[in-house]
Amino acid sequence: MALRLVHKAFDDLSVRELHDAYRLRVDVFVCEQGITGEPEIDAKDPGAVFVLAYEGDRLVGTGRVLGLTGAGVVRVGRLCVAADCRGRGVGGALLGCVDALVGDRVAELHAQAHLENWYGRFGWERRGEVFSEAGIEHLRMVKSCISKG
């Protein structure tokens, strides 16, 4: 089935879209990875643009982009793909959507350390040492001039 990508500001999301994005994030980060649910829905979401990947009517991937309206570094986060859809290009498609949104600005994200090489395939570069976030090893990764890479 063809993948359909959508990006919307928080205030433009329908109740269903927001529910599905939160449900997928909870499924992946809370249920699957054991991260506490408290920080999953946070005060940053209202300022974010959500990227959404659908197969038919089913949301199979999501992420958020912060700082698109400011002059600083853009932050990418909460990127996740439904367990049964991994390895099929959904994550890469989401990153392509992020690239289009960010343009030639600098973007950064905190990647789970075991995904360093995967992000590297899309032009993201490691910065600094491994650190713990929500009890999981992470790396700061940066991508510059996204529209050219």
- Express each pLDDT in 60-94 by its tens digit: 999 999 999 888 899 999 999 999 999 999 999 99
Summary mean pLDDT of the chain? 92
Q: Is the pLDDT of residue 148 over 80?
A: no
| Contact yes or no for 10/45 (Cβ under 8 A) | yes
Q: How confident is the model at residue 38 (pLDDT cuts 50, 70, 90)?
A: low
- What is the structure's pLDDT at 37? 58
The H or E element containing residue 78 is strand 74-81
* Domains, the chain, ordered by start: 3-148 (3.40.630.30)
Token pair in block for residue 119 = 């992000």
Mean pLDDT of 47-60: 97
Q: pTM of the predicted model, to two decimals?
A: 0.92
- What is the structure's pLDDT at 145? 66
- Rounded CA gap, 76 and 125, in Å? 14
The number of residues making up the chain comes to 149
